[in-house]
């Protein structure tokens, strides 16, 4: 199940990278680069921090290939992209986000880091690729201005860790519940434009 989840997250994140890239004047291979970075960037940063062997796609390039193929297909197939309804990019992003937070938490728990670090790794896996995408495309990173973005990740990741680490819920179940919570909060926030009160100086 995690395998398919992972592939789904990779595909939707690559798509979100390609769709954002469409706003810039990039050639197809530049788009390919941005799609791949978005899809595997978060997990790569996680693996560099955990220092537990090379980045996940070096030993098993499945996700790398999935991101590359998705990006190439998207470039070829997306012919009338202006017809895409406005909500598609945020919703794809929310699905990838939720799945990647869950995978990040799982991989961290597997190598026995503390609960707080596991939540951080989940958040990082979820938002890392999108942050790299936005920094490269010189957009304001979604995580900094979008409704309840980091909040959703922290909530889902925390539930995931607490269920597994303190309440003994099986890992798969804990992950599923965490993913649903992250996704639910993001989709709710997107649908009704919910915001926490912002912090301003």
Residue 188 found at the interface with a second copy (CB under 8 A): no
Which 3 state secondary structure label does DSSP give 137?
coil
CA trace torsion 121, 124, 126, 130 (10° rounding): -170
Query: How large is the greatest C-alpha to C-alpha distance in the chain, in angstroms?
Result: 50
- Measured distance CA(6)–CA(194) in Å, rounded: 28
Judged by CB, which is closer to a second copy: 11, or 189? Answer: 189
Of the pair 140, 172, the CB lying nearest a second copy is at 140
Residue 21 in contact with a second copy, rule: CB under 8 A: yes
Decide if 18 contacts 35 (C-beta within 8 A).
Answer: yes
Q: Which stretch binds a second copy (CB under 8 A): 6-14, 32-40, 90-98, 159-167?
A: 32-40
- How far is CA 167 from each of CA 26, 36, 136, 152, 164, rounded to the nearest angstrom? 49, 37, 41, 21, 6
Per CB under 8 A, 100 contacts a second copy: no
Binding mask 152-181 toward a second copy (x if CB under 8 A, else -) reads --x---------------------------
- Please report whether residue 81 would count as binding a second copy according to CB under 8 A: yes
**How far, in Å, CA of 142 to CA of 107, rounded?**
24
138 binds a second copy (CB under 8 A): yes
Q: How far is the CB of 158 from a second copy (least distance, A)?
A: 11
Q: Are 190 and 147 in contact (CB under 8 A)?
A: yes
Residues that bind a second copy (CB under 8 A): 18-19, 21-34, 36, 44, 47-55, 57-58, 61, 64-65, 68, 75, 78, 81-82, 84, 113-114, 116-117, 120, 123, 127, 131, 135-138, 140-141, 143-145, 147-151, 154, 195-201
């Amino acid at each position: 199940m995690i395998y398919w989840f992972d592939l789904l997250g990779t595909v939707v994140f690559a798509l979100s990278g390609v769709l954002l890239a469409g706003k810039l004047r990039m050639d197809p291979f530049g788009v390919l680069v941005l799609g791949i970075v978005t899809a595997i960037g978060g997990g790569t940063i996680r693996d560099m921090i955990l220092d537990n062997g090379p980045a996940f796609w070096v030993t098993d390039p499945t996700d790398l290939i999935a991101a590359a193929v998705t990006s190439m297909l998207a470039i070829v197939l997306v012919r009338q992209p202006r017809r895409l309804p406005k909500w598609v990019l945020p919703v794809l992003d929310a699905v990838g986000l939720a799945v990647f937070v869950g995978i990040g938490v799982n991989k961290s728990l597997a190598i026995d880091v503390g609960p707080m670090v596991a939540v951080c790794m989940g958040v990082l896996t979820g938002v890392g690729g999108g942050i790299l995408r936005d920094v490269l495309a010189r957009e304001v990173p979604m995580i900094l201005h979008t409704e309840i973005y980091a909040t959703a990740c922290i909530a889902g990741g925390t539930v995931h860790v607490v269920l597994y680490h303190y309440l003994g819920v099986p890992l798969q179940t804990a992950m599923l519940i965490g993913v649903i919570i992250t996704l639910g909060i993001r989709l709710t926030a997107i649908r009704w434009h919910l915001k926490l009160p912002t912090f301003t100086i």
